[in-house]
A = this chain, B = another copy of it.
């Protein structure tokens, strides 16, 4: 392997943003009460309540998988099933975490197009799921990934329709926001417009993919769920004793809109990359690029040559995935496009 020059394998390959590193230094002074009893951790709740325009509860956790699976464990009984797209991260990439923390609940798949399940498809699957039948796992919650695993976003109007489906069937609603900042940039929407205003119950608030070091968070919009999650996160081994180091990351992340600026850069470079690659002969974009992921089919020769150039891509069964991050530069994507043009000839 050549030295990595440009890493588009995942936004997780990016380093941490300097503002967030600075926050760690800022709080690394003297003693602080453990387990969230320090001022930095206590400030989280205010910071996020302001962000969502209502009282919320914030629980820092170490990964997005932890956020998803622990949040969902409070939204379903063990005999429940969670409706999600068949490409959802909770289904394909978390090694059964939701099944673990829920005590054996199921995931029921809704066929997705471009990473999104439609409210109609969802409604139909729920209608056939046997609500009230003793032999069937009971529909309990819906989980949607707002910035999807295929690089698209749910329009606010579709989230609203899905929320309406949830209400109609008395299901809880969870948003996997691993890339919520990217989604909000793409939608031009406020945090509350996709959560609070629509009756969302819990949100996995992603930070690591977009500039944090090693923290994400569960944001909860109902006190009863927060009361339960308080113990669920503890017994999941997800309550840091030195919580200030997570809280500082999260506070710095949203302060002054940093998170949105970081995501804006990732989205912009992804769009530029897509537009450039889309004009390379033999390259075909597989999905609309709405956030920071580009899915493209390209000749094996091109892929191999890009890799030889030190560009790291994510090979898939079909085509490649390229993910930009807060730290991806215009120069980098232009370099990739340029090399692809050369190899594609």
Known contacts A104-B99, A241-B63: A231-B134 contact under CB 8 Å = yes
* Closest residue of B by beta carbon distance from A30: B15
Instruction: Give A223 Cβ to nearest chain B Cβ, in Å.
Output: 15
Q: Looking at the complex, which one of B31, B62, B134, B235 makes contact with A234 (CB distance below 8 Å)?
A: B134
CA distance in complex: A29, B4 (Å): 12
- Verify if A157 is at the interface (C-beta below 8 Å from B): no
For the complex, what is the distance from the CA of A81 to the CA of B94, rounded to whole Å? 13
Q: Do B12 and A242 touch (CB < 8 A)?
A: yes
Say whether A96 contacts B100, CB under 8 Å. no
Shortest CB-to-CB span from A172 to chain B, Å, is: 16
Mark A4-39 against chain B: 1 for CB-CB distance below 8 A, else 0. 101101101111100001001100111111110000
Task: Find out whether the CB atom of B134 lies under 8 angstroms from the CB atom of A35.
Answer: yes
Q: Which of B14, B100, B230, B236 contacts A97 (CB 8 A)?
A: B236
Whether, in the assembled complex, A116 has its beta carbon less than 8 Å from a beta carbon of chain B, the answer is no
Contacts known (A103-B78, A106-B99, A237-B63); A136 close to B9, Cβ less than 8 A: no
Query: Does A239 lie at the interface of the complex (its beta carbon under 8 Å from any beta carbon of B)?
Result: yes
Show 21 A/B contacts (Cβ-Cβ < 8 Å), sorted by A: A4-B33, A9-B34, A12-B35, A13-B32, A16-B28, A35-B135, A61-B237, A63-B237, A63-B238, A63-B239, A65-B237, A69-B237, A79-B95, A92-B136, A93-B135, A94-B235, A104-B104, A134-B230, A134-B239, A214-B245, A236-B237
Q: Determine whether A344 belongs to the interface, using a CB cutoff of 8 Å to chain B.
A: no
Q: A238, B62: Cβ atoms under 8 Å?
A: yes
Proximity bits, A200-238, B CB within 8 Å = 1, else 0: 000000001100011000000000000010111011111
Which B-chain residue is minimally distant from A240 (CB atoms)? B214
| Copies of this protein, total | 4
Nearest Cβ in chain B — how far from A232, in angstroms? 6
CB distance from A308 to the nearest CB of B (A): 17
Q: Which residues of A contact B (CB under 8 A)?
A: 4, 6-7, 9-10, 12-16, 21, 24-25, 28-35, 61-70, 77-79, 81, 92-97, 99-107, 128, 134-138, 208-209, 213-214, 228, 230-232, 234-242, 245-246, 312, 317, 327
A79→B235 contact, CB < 8 A:
yes
Residue of A6, A63, A93, A327 ringed by the most chain B CB atoms within 10 A: A63
| Distance from A326 Cβ to chain B, minimum over Cβ atoms (Å) | 12
Per CB-CB distance, the 4 closest pairs between chain A and chain B, nearest first, are A66-B237, A7-B31, A103-B103, A12-B241
A15-B28, A208-B240 known; 17 new pairs, CB 8 Å cut-off, are: A4-B31, A4-B33, A7-B33, A13-B31, A35-B135, A63-B237, A63-B240, A68-B237, A70-B237, A78-B99, A79-B234, A93-B135, A95-B134, A99-B106, A100-B103, A104-B104, A214-B214
With most chain B CB atoms within 10 A of its CB, the pick from A33, A61, A138, A231 is: A231
The chain B residue sitting closest to A89, CB to CB, is B135
Closest to A107 in B: B106
In the bound complex, residues from chain B placing their C-beta under 8 Å from that of A67 are 237
The complex places the Cα of A65 from the Cα of B135 at a distance, in Å, of 10
* Minimum CB distance partner of A91 in chain B: B106
**A10: B residues at CB distance < 8 A:** 34, 241
B70 touches A96 (CB 8 A): no
Using known A-B contacts A102-B104, A137-B95, A214-B242, determine if residue A21 contacts B16 with beta carbons closer than 8 Å.
no
